[in-house]
Amino acid sequence: MAPDTPLVIVDNLSYQRDKRVIFDQVSLRIPRSKITAILGPSGTGKTTLLKLIGAKLKPTQGNVHVDGRNIHSLSRPDLYRFRERIGMLFQNGALFTHLSTFDNVAFPLREHTKLPESMIRDLVLMKLDAVGLRGAQALMPAELSGGMARRVALARAIALDPMLIMYDEPFTGQDPISMGVLIKLIRRMNDALDMTSIIVSHDVAETLSIADYVYVLANGKVVAEGTPSDLQHDTGPFVSQFMHGLPDGAVPFHYPANPFIHDLLGDNA
């Protein structure tokens, strides 16, 4: 594919769960070698979008192309092989609790390659060193702090040097120091390994600090897109409220209800 061709193309994607519409003809372009952020309030389907891109879910309508291939048209064996080129950092880290830090990072290498253990050892140590945790290789997940566990998960996600890595709420539950480390690592990894990254998050400031391009989702649609600077200066009611964390606005503070006086006094109001 040409370098200027988007790595991920989402065309008129709709997705419905039971009778609830999650996405309604959403279109996105994810450029190569960049960090693209998908922002939006909780419950807008950001994680669902990652599952659709990874073909864990199938759209009701529309297509998702990754590196020129319609990912939902692939056979199961082809999809399995194709996913080797996609890394995923899950929201909770999703480390195997019965495996050490070393073995967690080694897992995808042992699962998808026939490399000798001596080479796997060298690769695992390289990945752990890249996230600053080579010295923690013998620790079990229960012995790791939340920030350390997220960094081990990142080392595992890049074990196969993927072309695309997807981050599901990477900053949730992190203290300021751990968050700062993750922000630096995501930017540095993306540039050093020439990867394409997609971050879904509702942490606005942290995500905008490293994103090259941003989409904002709400009510099943893309309501805004642009560079971080574009969106910070967007005066639209929803985007402005979301970007600045305002408690009331396009998304009202009060859930729809009868007039307060009516609920207090009933028919005597």
Task: Provide the strand spans (E) within the chain.
Answer: 8-17, 20-30, 35-39, 61-66, 69-70, 86-89, 164-168, 196-201, 213-218, 221-226
Q: What share of the chain in percent tops pLDDT 70?
A: 94
- Are 52 and 198 spatial neighbours (Cβ–Cβ below 8 Å)? no
On the question of pLDDT at 268 being above 60, the answer is yes
When pLDDT is cut at 50, 70 and 90, the band that residue 2 belongs to is: low
Chain centroid to Cα 74, Å, comes to 22
pLDDT tens, 82-113?
A: 988 998 888 777 889 999 999 999 999 998 88
Token digits of residue 178: 């751990």
* Per-residue pLDDT at 172: 78
Nearest by Cα to 82 from 10, 8, 153, 12: 8
Segment (H or E) for 180 = helix 176-192
Pick the CATH number of 8-234 from 1.10.510.10, 2.160.10.10, 3.40.50.300, 3.30.200.20: 3.40.50.300
Q: State residue 10's pLDDT score.
A: 94
Residue 121 token pair: 């050892």
CA distances from 247 to 13, 86, 138, 236, 241 (A): 30, 37, 45, 15, 8
pLDDT bin (cut points 50, 70, 90) of residue 34 is very high
* Residue 225 tokens, joined: 């897109």
Q: Which helix (H) or strand (E) holds 237?
A: helix 237-244
Q: Which residues pair with 11 in a beta bridge?
A: 63
pLDDT value at residue 78: 92
Greater confidence (239 vs 200) lies with 200
Are 150 and 89 in contact by the 8 Å Cβ rule? The answer is yes
Alpha-helical segments (H) within 54-175 = 76-82, 101-112, 117-130, 146-157
What pLDDT is recorded for position 3?
62
Interacting residues of 247 by C-beta distance below 8 A, sequence separation 6+: 253
Alpha-carbon distance of 13 to 184, in angstroms, equals 32
pLDDT digits 0-9 by tens, 179-225: 888 888 889 889 888 899 999 987 888 888 999 999 988 888 898 89
